């Protein structure tokens, strides 16, 4: 990639992807969604803001990019609808549609597997009507440093006594964030299927991670993955205990 434009650069995936690309010497332009509050945003800015290849741009200052990927992080348990509506209102403006078509820029969407069908109906169908090129990568539960506290693993590692499990948290699989980002970068530079679902390939992976933190009786729904999604296997060089320990140490560092 010549450069990457990341909308939601301080969201969970967006931040880790941004940092990883910067470490490889890529140029990254970061844009935050208006009115979407991000916990610890200043700490995240300190981590990547000093990199000479990073430039943060406000929503109102967006400029036309003639190369590189345009990436939207829509992976959020509580604000994804708000984020998708903001994306639609911007991308589908006639002027922006014409610019994207003129430069043949591909849009990349990163989302929660449990919201794929809603995104397909309310966003992707509109992009297709406009003839805009796009791909979408979907994820089960992602965990690791900076995991939002809406997720169960973060609550357990924080030591919360009162636990709330979101019905938007996919409970059949889990992938460590660094491994997910590695796979996203692989997919960005290859001609892949339009709709991808990342999988760990490990049996009862979400449940095994949860039990490694604390024994807790949790219902595991049975999910039907839409047939449009093509599976993409994600390997991890570490075991669950090692990956969870990285998240635990990160929480202690910022407590």
Instruction: Please write the tens of the pLDDT for every residue from 183-220.
Output: 999 999 887 799 999 999 999 999 999 999 998 889 99
User: What is residue 146's DSSP assignment?
Assistant: T
In the chain, the percentage of residues whose pLDDT exceeds 90 is 76
pLDDT for 237: 96
Alpha-carbon distance of 209 to 243, in angstroms, equals 9
CB 16 within 8 A of CB 142: no
Q: Give the count of alpha carbons within 13 A of 211, CB side only.
A: 8
Quick one: which H or E segment has residue 233? strand 230-233
Residue of 137, 230, 237, 139 lying closest to 187 (CA atoms) = 137
State the residue for tokens 């047939």.
Answer: 227
pLDDT for 35: 83
pLDDT for 190: 84
pLDDT for 67: 59
- In the chain, what is the straight-line distance between the N-terminal and C-terminal CA atoms, in Å? 36
- CB neighbours of residue 194 within 10 Å: 13
Q: What is the pTM of this model?
A: 0.95
pLDDT for 64: 57
Residue of 141, 149, 157 lying closest to 202 (CA atoms) = 141
**Positions of the chain with pLDDT under 50:** none
Residues in the chain: 255
pLDDT for 137: 98
């Amino acid at each position: 990639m010549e450069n990457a434009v990341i909308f939601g650069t301080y969201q969970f995936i967006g931040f880790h992807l941004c940092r990883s690309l910067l470490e490889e010497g890529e140029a990254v332009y970061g844009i935050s969604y208006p009115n979407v509050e991000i916990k610890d945003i200043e700490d995240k800015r300190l981590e990547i803001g000093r990199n000479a290849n990073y430039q943060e741009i406000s929503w109102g200052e967006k400029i036309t990019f003639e190369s590189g990927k345009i990436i939207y992080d829509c992976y959020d348990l509580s604000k994804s609808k708000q984020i998708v509506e903001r994306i639609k209102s911007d991308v589908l403006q006639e002027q922006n549609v014409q610019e994207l078509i003129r430069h043949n820029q591909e849009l990349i969407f990163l989302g929660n597997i449990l919201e794929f069908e809603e995104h397909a109906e309310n966003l992707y169908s509109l992009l297709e009507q406009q003839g805009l090129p796009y791909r979408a990568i979907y994820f089960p539960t992602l965990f690791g440093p900076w995991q939002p506290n809406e997720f169960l693993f973060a609550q357990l590692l924080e030591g919360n006594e009162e636990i709330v499990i979101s019905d938007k948290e996919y409970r059949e699989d889990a992938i460590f964030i660094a491994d997910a980002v590695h796979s996203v970068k692989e997919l960005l530079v290859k001609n892949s299927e339009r709709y991808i679902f990342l999988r760990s390939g490990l049996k009862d992976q979400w449940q095994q991670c949860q039990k490694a933190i604390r024994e807790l009786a949790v219902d595991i729904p049975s999910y039907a993955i839409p047939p449009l999604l093509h599976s993409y296997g994600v390997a991890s060089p570490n075991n669950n205990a090692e990956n969870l320990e990285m998240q635990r140490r990160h929480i202690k560092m910022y407590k």
